[in-house]
Structure 1
Amino acid sequence: MAGNTANTWSAPVASGPLEAGVRVPGSKSITNRAYVLAALSAEPTLVRRPLDSRDARLMLGALAALGATTEPGGENVLVRPMAPSGTDPVSVALGNAGTVARFTPALAGLGSRPVLFDGDEAIRRRPIAPLLRALTELGADIDDGGRGAPPFTVRGHGGIAGGKVELDSRASSQFLSALLLAGPSFGSGVTVRLIGGAPPSEPHIAMTLDLLRRFGAAPERSGTEFHVPPARLSCPDYTVEPDLSTAAPFVVAAAVAGGRVRLEGWPEETTQPGDWLRGLLTELGQGVELDAGGLTVTGTGSIPGARLDLHEVGELTPVVAAMLCFAEGPSVISGVAHLRGHETDRLAALATELSGLGAGVTETEDGLEITPAPLHGGVFHTYEDHRLVMAAAVLGLRVPGVLVENPATVGKTFPGFTGAWGAMLA
């Protein structure tokens, strides 16, 4: 039976094949992009079913500091656009939210006041220097003390000129998305040419382009060059899809424990990287059925080993790695070196914690090698990383005694995760 102490959660064990229905909250990635575009729009936007979590609240707080206003109402949030609000200095609290740290500095450059950006120690270690350099070249006034990391100050001068810029976005596709989202509000728009190699997570780039179009912008792409002309943004009503990456542990639960799990509201068409799981589970021999109401996964009781390049869907790595600890043969995950710059070094954390419970997991330069072995209970440290809480929950389905340290960190994307997980097993 699952239980909680002040700092740990006992991940519940499945007593038999699952038979459950789950609805996860709104997508964090879509929510925060929609909030940014709503703040830049010419009229208010009603954002329906957005995620309510730590990162989403940090984004709303940042936008409020920059002159936008928000009015929660039931499941929805009304966002009123940024408006001139004086010249006195303000601060933006980043916490450990990468989308807030990367998407909002450009907005500060559109205002007329100094804005100090700072957050947790972890956010000070996450990469952002290439984005700050690009914004400076486009006309923003940024003082980072030469650190290329928070804390930094953006001094607003009433606008950003925009134009052409080269960007190394290999560490995070959010650098590119940040420029594209703000581009319609730059004086001459923005043209970004990627250098140094492909950024990770192509689906998130497609998501950004899709939301720009929904809000009335006209982004263009030609290979590694992106152009967003100036535009008057408007989207009076926007509905956020369920978060398919947050759904990942529930999707793989049927494969690990057997039985059937239905994910309500899974979209038939989406740009979210989590949709890749449908193809993966099919390849692994599980039953997968998508209809107008959602996705149903039926476990077959066995999982083969696999070689997976997760470069485009790296955020799924913790949950996928946990699932592969129960495979019938060795597995290799590659293409995810960029995960070393997320909430923690996810590759090192996964290798340490999965191995600590008996799995044979070793780091490679850009991924993990996983050799299944008998697993046992113990403390699973989460390093203030929400995805590691989800990975530990997957392990607990078949391993008694998995004690998840600091489960509250999952509130970054799904505050009700442990309750929903327990309800799935009830």
Structure 2
Amino acid sequence: MHTEPFEARLNDLVHPDHVHQDVYTDPEIFELEMDRIFGRAWVYVGHESQVPNAGDYWTTLIGRDPVLMVRDKSGAVNVLHNRCPHKGAKVVSEGCGNAGPLFRCPYHAWTFKLDGSLLGVPHRSWYEGTGFDPKGESFSMSSVARVASHRGFVFASLSREGPDLKTFLGGAISTLDNFADRAPEGKVQVAGGVQRVWQENNWKLFLENMNDTAHAPATHESSWAAAKQTAQSRFGGKSPFQLHIIEGNGEPNAFWESLDFRCYDYGHSYFDAIFNAPGDRISLEYRQQLDAAYGKERAGEILKLNRHNTVFYPSCSPHVGFQQMRVIRPISVGRTMIEFFTFRLMGTNDEFFQRTISYTNIVNSPSSLVMVDDVDLYRRCQEGMHSDGGKWISHHRNYGRDIKGDHEIIGKGVTELPMRNQFRAWREYMQAPGGGDGRAATAAE
């Protein structure tokens, strides 16, 4: 039982090289995260290609607030609270669809324009002489406080205060630019629906693992060892694509140590690619398409910027090389839903897209040979943190060896710098209202 004031206890949970396990297990802390982190930060909502036509909508969550992204008749993309102002009912059910020219609440048939403003209520005469004001904001579907997009990637914030989206994304914004630039037409499209994985762990464990290179050889040994053995016995060591993307997790320590990490304000980070598509016919045809679209010099620059996982804290992690987006949806202190979206690079052929689908199914899907290892370890961490075997979680790896850049902190590939960077942002967000906005000073450790 904790006796000290809650705000004072928050200040002692996060240290530069270790954190208290309560940040993963305490329901009260989780509730505060939903308010002070997901209620303040820019959170990834979706991609504009998910709502191509007027009336198209996509439902999702910001923290635990149900929202919907919708394209209106003018072509603008809005993000609205999925809530009828009458009785609070969700106006549309979960998923996606087309609302037509208006939204209609299924409970009492109030209708709303695609920008959320009230269109009409049945039996208007019943409201005459009351305080009902059809032009009042409180009788419309509320817009989320702020909405902005970059290269078609839509983010929203529940807070009217804080940095604009470009400032928030900071040095990591180049990942989204590169994502779109890799398409010969300069834009991408969500394709193939969404896959969901329910995880029995705190949401922060997933984000930390996205930039944890030290776990791969151990956690995924069963799959990469089998892939290497199969490649040798059946293909003479020349791995086809499906094996190539598995066995990359089995690289020696020297390989992992050579990778660069870049960390930024607000908890964002990325690191170098750990494997690339083999130089086969499909890859050659793609390079020819890129050369034709941009010229050889520019195409080379685009492909040279090659990253594995980028973390946009606290809500998503794009993988540019194989066109994936993983989105974090916290459900409770010990339960998280992860959504996986696959993108088509516009201007590429279907064979190239099928390679992207293969990567999704083999590495990220619920039936993946790789993801299952991570999900099991996340659960083990969550369960182990409830024991009396200790109270602190170590983030000591390569502590004190990171280098301060102009607007970033740089570390080598076995460092736990990204975890420390995420918790610097966490601590800033979790300050009392009126305190931090998630910006962690980029100072060398």
Q: Which has the larger radius of gyration?
A: 2
Report the TM-score when normalising by structure 1. 0.31
Task: Identify the structure with bigger relative contact order (alpha carbons < 8 Å, sequence gap 6+).
Answer: 2
